[in-house]
Amino acid sequence: MRLATLLEDAGVDPRAQWILAEGADASGMSRSVPLEKAMGDALVAIYQNGEPVRPSNGYPMRLLLPGYEGNMNVKWLRRIKLTEGPTMTKDETSKYTMLQNDGKSLQFCFAQEAKSVITRPSPGLTMGAPGLYEINGSLPGRVMDGIAKVEVSADGGASWASAALQEPVLPMAVTRFRSPWRWDGGPATLQSRATDDSGYVQPTRSKLIADRGARATYHFNGIASWAVAQSGEGKTCLRITRLLAACLVLLAGYGTALAESPNLGKTASPEEIASWDISIGPGGAGLPSGSGTPQQGEQVYLAKCLACHGEKRVGQAERPTGRWPRIRFGPGQAPVKTVGSFWPYATTLFDYVRRAMPLNESKSSAMRRYMRWVAYILLLNGIIGESDKIDAHTLPAVRMPNRDGFVRFFPREMILNRAPDVRSRNELCGKVCFWRILCKSLFGVANENS
């Protein structure tokens, strides 16, 4: 179902410019979405391929934002709230932002940029004798601009050959590609790169890091590599350890095949809705009563937080995995994704602490304890003084050191590294078909009648 239909039925406050979409998972995954997108092609998906959305994919319903990255398609959707501005949730502050080399961070990076991955040959597959093989793969179904061409390489990017795209090739739709490859029996490094209709080319890992820094992993669309050993065994290489090759296609259900009710459960009561409506935006609306001082917060920290964050309040550095995040930083240190060094609004800290802390006991403490925690963390980061008190009035007024360190990646035109010439798909790839490529691979020339 179109999200616009639901919003129009409920009524849209003319002041609204954004929505907040929140999931029912334990972490309360939530993202701010421009109202323009919500009223455009956004969907609420309750069916997938003719059956109810599966639990792992967000049952009973999931937000579907065509062209946006997967993290924006909130699973287990339970709440949509209209807002005047972005809510600045923890997920769009500490997670899905791109901290660049110059210390600035790109925020609201919605669009899925050109990306491709080879699915065969790949790790776990051992090829036989040298000879002719097919390289095939896929492009995510969320690429904002249409895909113009895909190229493949068997020598780690030293040379490239065009691959055939499986029709139909549509914007924001999964696309398969294939290309013949004559393996000589020696080691090889397989890669693929996509070019979209605007001329943007899928970058190498090194270029992506040079352009956006090493901390942009949440938005990684760099070229992935498979190493083929002389034995024919496929392995990962170039430090790529995880690839998202599976593409989820969610379809809102219509017609007789989807006539059964999706069994969405009972109507939520006002009390239940109120218990979910706890997100806190930069303005502080919805902050509870109560207050806290850093001295009170230190006692709570010693009782509830010490095991994870350590006596020095910088995380357990002695842990081999370095798992726990640091919450305190000294002057002159490089920006990192933590409270004092990175977060732009103190209200996000309260929202995060209330939802997630302490570990295994989240949402269990009285509200005044959360204010105390927040006050102590702000003191540790040198943002407030020892005698300051934090409450619903003073917290939104706290100015975080990195307030001006964010650059909005939205609207879409702000995508980086665009080629200046915008060419059509035909101009970019010409007559690229699988049989033409196969003839060239077999006989050294293309069959002009293909």
pLDDT tens, residue by residue, 3-34: 999 999 989 999 999 999 999 887 788 999 99
How far apart are the C-alpha atoms of 327 and 374, rounded to whole Å?
11
pLDDT score recorded for residue 262: 57
Share of the chain above pLDDT 70, in %: 76
How far apart are the C-alpha atoms of 30 and 22, rounded to whole Å?
4
Share of the chain above pLDDT 90, in %: 38
pLDDT of residue 127 exceeding 50? yes
Residue 358 · residue 304 · CB < 8 Å: yes
How far apart are the C-alpha atoms of 375 and 294, rounded to whole Å?
5
How far apart are the C-alpha atoms of 136 and 224, rounded to whole Å?
14
Give the start-to-end residue ranges of the domains of the chain.
Answer: 3-96, 117-247+424-443, 281-406
pLDDT of residue 370 exceeding 50? yes
Higher pLDDT, 11 or 355: 11
Domain pair 3-96 / 117-247+424-443, same fold: no
How far apart are the C-alpha atoms of 161 and 179, rounded to whole Å?
8
Q: What is the reported pTM?
A: 0.75
pLDDT score recorded for residue 424: 33
- The CATH architecture one would assign to domain 281-406 is Orthogonal Bundle (1.10)
Tell me which fold the domain 3-96 belongs to. Answer: Sulfite Oxidase; Chain A, domain 2 (3.90.420)
CATH number of 117-247+424-443: 2.60.40.650
